Amino acid sequence: MILKMNDKFVKPFIADHEYENIQPMVNVADRMLREQNGPGNDYLGWMTLPSDYDKEEFARIKDAAAKIQKNCDVFIVLGIGGSYLGSRAVIEFLKSQRYNVLKKDTPDIYFSGCNISPADMNELLELCEGKDVSINVISKSGTTTEPAVAFRVFRNLLEEKYGVDGARDHIFITTDRSRGTLKQFADQAGYETFVVPDDVGGRFSVLTAVGLLPIAVAGISIDELMQGADAARGDYINPSLAKNDCYRYAVTRIILYRKGKSTEILVNYENYATMFNEWWKQLYGESEGKDNRGIYPSSVIFSTDLHSLGQYIQEGRRNLFETVVTVNEGGSSLLIPDDPHNIDGLNFLSGMDLDYVNKTAMQGTLFAHMDGGVPNIVLELKDRTAFSLGYLIYFFELSCAMSGYLLGVNPFNQPGVESYKKNMFALLGKPGYEDRRAALEARM
């Protein structure tokens, strides 16, 4: 079994009949997803993606990754939201948060165009001095300001380094098949392009070229990632909550939400999961947070955050529940050394594996938080491989869609993301936004 939901630490908060009561709603939502007749039904391509993907493009992704690995020291991904979080999450989860400083035969990978910070961009430009650089600009809409501005900056850098013709070998574009400024620009300039399928939204796009090209550049098997996702697709076909942990997770969240548990904290005990937590937050936050409802997604890395947010979780406002992701097999092993003098009094730990101590911290925390009134859903992942991670990604995508439908929202749109953009354009003087600018200025 690749993934198991352990509900021991949530059982005191939910009775069995509550799952039985909601099963008919799950059946309806499952049919809406499979028959593609629910809200946002134009964006369900991710459901069949793990087996039904463009094999020709998949091969081109591998070729481009090999070329990038050969031609450059530094590879920069320019994208924001769903256009970078997935690839960064996978690279860090399977390699390390410190991927760039590891001994390796693949390029350093940086992410830019995911903020508007001049300090961040200047630092990265400096890092590129004297290095061979390639970039992958990723934007489904092709119009998002952050990556578009970063593209201007890094295109200048590459054209200065290699000339306009030479730069072409160092620029890769991932965008819509036919629409958008970026696609037009790429076609005119002759850059190699990859496609974000029409029916896959940004936060569901990690298993398209959006995520796969950077992941392949990092030397991770994208075949195994897809195979893992496909295995999850097959395992979660039956909507029965007795047989489907993915839907059971979705339903558990919704039952807890209806009992006033409006904040979910995703918990991991390994630093390598930090960006995975960020990917998950976008997936759930953008999918559910609308129409004045939705579970607020947050995250922690324990035991680090037990010494910052731990107090609040144990004794603060009781509107929380936690979802703990733990990896069962193949943890990194480090034995705690013995000290003949035992000055620190820690010899009871001598010879113990740090992985065991970490897992014991988790057990202790699960009991403490449950006793403190915080339900804990535990998701046990078999191991830290591309296959299992692909499985986990699909698990969260499908459960997110189910949760959204059970909440009664359209999980596949993000109308709220537009508001800040319109205000920013107006205040920066973009043509066409004059009235909005005047209205904003009047309120300042």
Q: What residues from 269 to 308 belong to the interface with ligand PA5 (CB under 6 A)? A: 286
Q: Which of 50, 202, 239, 411 binds ligand PA5 (CB under 6 A)?
A: 202
Q: Is 70 a catalytic residue?
A: no
Q: Of 2-10, 74-82, 333-341, 356-364, which part binds ligand PA5 (CB under 6 A)? A: 74-82
* Contact call for residue 193 and ligand PA5 (CB under 6 A): no
Among 45, 86, 197, 201, binds ligand PA5 (CB under 6 A): 201
Amino acid letter, residue 397: E
Active-site position among 17, 103, 307, 341: 307
Closest CB to ligand PA5 among residues 78, 374: 78
Task: Select the span of 96-104, 200-208, 301-309, 363-371 touching ligand PA5 (CB under 6 A).
Answer: 200-208
Nearer to ligand PA5, 139 or 323 (CB): 139
Under rule CB under 6 A, residue 80 binds ligand PA5: yes
Q: Which amino acid is at 266?
A: L
Task: Specify the residue, 36 or 413, whose C-beta has the smaller distance to ligand PA5.
Answer: 413
Q: Closest residue to ligand PA5, Cβ-based?
A: 202
Q: What is the DSSP string of 343-367?
A: TTS-GGGTT-BHHHHHHHHHHHHHH
- What three-state secondary structure class fits 42? helix
Q: What are phi and psi of 192, to 5 degrees?
A: -70, 135
Between 169 and 176, name the residue whose CB sits nearer to ligand PA5: 176
Residue 183, interface with ligand PA5 (CB under 6 A)? no
Question: Judged by CB, which is closer to ligand PA5: 155, or 203?
Answer: 203
CA separation for the pair 266, 408 (Å, rounded): 23
Beta-ladder partners of 296: 263
Parallel, antiparallel or unpaired: strands 192-195 and 171-175:
parallel
What burial class does residue 69 get, using C-beta atoms within 10 Å of its C-beta: 0-12 exposed, 13-18 middle, 19+ buried?
middle
The secondary element (H helix, E strand) that includes residue 235 is helix 222-235
Catalytic residue among 264, 286, 322, 397: 286
Residue in 303, 321, 315 with CA at minimum distance from that of residue 258: 321
Write out the H or E segment, with its range, that includes residue 110: strand 108-112
| Element containing residue 402 per DSSP (H, E) | helix 386-407
Binding residues for ligand PA5 restricted to 134-173, rule: CB under 6 A: 139-141, 144, 147
160 is catalytic: no
Q: Where along the sequence are the contacts to ligand PA5 (CB under 6 A)?
A: 80-83, 139-141, 144, 147, 201-203, 286, 414, 417
Residues marked as catalytic: 286, 307, 421
